[in-house]
Amino acid sequence: VRTLRGRLFLYLGAAVLLSTVLTIAVAALLVRGHARDQAQTNLDRQAGAAVALGGRGGQVRRTAADGTVVAFVRGGRLRPLRAERAEDLLGDIPGGDASGRVEVGGRDLLYAARSGPEGRVVLVRSAKLAAADWRPFVVSLLLAGLGGAAVALVLSALLARRLLRPLGRVAGATRAIAAGDGDARVDVEGDDELASVGRSFNAMADQLAASREAERAFLLSVSHELKTPLTAIRGYAEAIGDGAVAPQEAGAVIGAEADRLERLVRDLLDLARLDQHAFAVAHERVDLGAVAERARERAAGQAAALGVALEVRVAPGATAVGDDGRTLQAVSNLVDNALRATPAGGRVVVDAKPGRITVRDTGPGLDPEDLPRAFDRFHLHAKYGADRQVGSGLGLAVVRELARAMGGDATVASRRGEGAAFTVRLATRNT
């Protein structure tokens, strides 16, 4: 049996059968005493009848030495006992009229003794109950069994329904979501384990819908970012054709826009590869002081052109576990951002400490509500996107993914108007 429904019904069916058998067995135990009393009463009645017939009636011939008729009853017929067994028996039962149970020669017997004018009759029978003794009770026993079975069946059916219905709902909602209905949710009733399955399912569906929405928004942003430079390139190309613009000027603009496209595509590829964990990331000891110095060398020209001072500070023991090249890529990205955000005359400091590099600037900083989402794709870019000449809007997202790929993370601290401090944190020792 493969399905849960089938297995459940199998188990419940077994439980019903078992409880029915148990009901009948218990009822039989309870009835047994009664059946034995009944057997004794019957024996007494037979003994009475035999006395009335004078122990004769053609049925009983042989008797004990004192003239008592002693007979064994089986299947409603009387069989006289052999003389020596009859003596044995008479030694074990009281005189006069008596009824009861006695053990003779290892046999458990019921007896009934009755005296009349014609003499005494003693009837015995096996104390074991035979099928005939049960017959009067069969209907009651069957009724008890059927009643037990009915109760067990109803309870089992209710239980099966209670178990299977919520699961069926979750299965239905799962199919609906797989078929593309992102709004499918499960109605949750109660507060048990099955309700918690439903709630977890709904939470998962919400999560799925949110991430689908995020993907859609991302795709829209990417399309927008691709369209803007392409529109500019097309415009300048047409202007050259019309002779409306000097080729040198158009060439410079087209080159700059192509740069933007190139950067965007490069960041997109980086993100996609980081997402797939397809990026080769080393876990080696990295000299963060050296990384900071290389980032400064790279950006020195840009800093001079923008009129921003660029400094490196290295604390003792400024090392971490990570990938040299990827760390430089992340820090360079942060330095580039900081230089562009900082007005001329400001200062950018690259601060290397054990396990972290912080890039601090004296630029405009960020609003508090932006801090939790600063590393989300296109988030800051969309909000403060004025300095668009070089940005792709994905730089900070790439920084965070790089840091995480190295087992670390990226964080930001800032106050509006007081500059920003972006930090790449890495492990200080191999784990």
Which residues make up the interface to Mg ion (CB under 5 A)? 337, 395
Least separation in angstroms between residue 347's CB and Mg ion is: 19
Chain position whose Cβ is nearest to Mg ion: 395
Within 8 A by CB and 6+ apart from 123, the residues are: 43, 46, 47, 50, 71, 72, 73, 78, 111, 112, 113
424 binds, options ligand ADP, Mg ion, none, Cβ within 5 to 8 A by partner type: none
Shortest distance, CB of residue 294 to Mg ion, whole angstroms?
18
Element (H, E) at 116: strand 107-116
CA-CA distance, 9 to 32, in Å (whole number)? Answer: 34
Tell me 346's DSSP state.
-
Three-state SS at 77: strand
Is 96 in a helix, a strand, or coil? coil
Backbone angles phi, psi at 224, to 5 degrees: -65, -45
Binders of ligand ADP in range 333-352 (CB under 6 A): 333, 337-338, 341
- Binding at 194: pick from Mg ion, ligand ADP, none (beta carbon under 5-8 Å per type): none
**Is residue 145 at the binding interface for ligand ADP, with CB under 6 A as the rule?**
no
Per DSSP, the three-state class of 344 is coil
What's the distance, CA 89 to chain centroid?
A: 73
Total binding residues for ligand ADP by CB under 6 A?
Answer: 20
- Asked whether the beta carbons of 359 and 291 are under 8 A apart, the reply is no
Residue 143 CA, distance from chain mean position: 43
Q: Which is nearer to ligand ADP, 182 or 385 (CB)?
A: 385
Query: With respect to ligand ADP, which residue has the nearer C-beta, 148 or 363?
Result: 363
Burial 11-25 (b: 16+ CB within 10 A, else e): ebeeebeebbeebbe
With binding defined as CB under 6 A, does residue 423 bind ligand ADP? Answer: no
| Token pair recorded at residue 400 | 């965070």
Residue 424 engages ligand ADP in binding (rule: CB under 6 A): no
Which of ligand ADP, Mg ion, none does 206 bind, CB closer than 5 to 8 A by kind? Answer: none
* Dihedral angle of Cα 20, 25, 27, 28, to the nearest 10 degrees: 140
Q: Which is nearer to Mg ion, 260 or 356 (CB)?
A: 260
Report if residue 229 touches ligand ADP, rule: CB under 6 A. Answer: no
Does residue 402 bind ligand ADP (CB under 6 A)?
A: no
Q: Check residue 361 for interaction with ligand ADP (CB under 6 A).
A: yes
The reply on whether position 43 binds ligand ADP by CB under 6 A is no
Q: Check residue 64 for interaction with ligand ADP (CB under 6 A).
A: no
384 touches ligand ADP by CB under 6 A? yes
State the Cα–Cα distance between residues 425 and 402, nearest whole angstrom: 11
Nearest residue (CB) to ligand ADP, 111 versus 378 = 378
Residue 7 CA to its chain's centroid (Å):
20
Query: Can you tell me which of 145, 198, 322, 393 binds ligand ADP, judged by CB under 6 A?
Result: 393
Token code pair at residue 184 = 């499918």
The verdict on 392 binding ligand ADP (CB under 6 A) reads yes
What are the residues binding ligand ADP (CB under 6 A)?
333, 337-338, 341, 361, 363-364, 366, 380-381, 384-385, 387, 391-396, 420
